[in-house]
Amino acid sequence: MISPVPIPAGTFTIGKTFDFEAGHRLPSLPPDHKCNRQHGHSYQVEVILTGSSLNGPGFVTDFADLAPFKRFLDTELEHQNLHEVLPFEPTSELLARFLAGWFVQNVQPGIPGKLVAVRVRETARSWARFDLVEA
């Protein structure tokens, strides 16, 4: 059996990635900008949570408890034109902030972990991240 080791102080961090397909355009951009035209993305959304202690059997949050977030993405954003269903121009930055707010309001009250950031990836090489700050 492996000998015990000293346990350092710290926090635990977990992340889970979700995906959805959607289209959008950014009409406030100049007409000749490519993102002014309708186009689509295979979005990936990562939620990042932290906790200073673990819940049985050793989780910050059970990944299964994040299912309401996936349902929201599937029912409200999947195969939608985001500029038609969201109350703001759907840049990745604003989408990350909106999804963080939705998560805090609708998922976080029922789980032990605390959301620290949401990252929205439009492509394999581009993403935006919204970090929550303590009030």
The span from the CA of 118 to the CA of 71, in Å, is 17
**Which one of the listed residues 78, 79, 84, 93 is annotated catalytic?**
79
Largest CA distance in the chain: 67
CA angle 121, 126, 128 (to 5 degrees): 60
Q: Catalytic: 84?
A: no
Q: Catalytic: 79?
A: yes
Residue 45, classed as helix, strand or coil, is: strand
Q: Catalytic: 39?
A: no
**Which one of the listed residues 35, 76, 83, 89 is annotated catalytic?**
35
Catalytic residues: 35, 79, 122
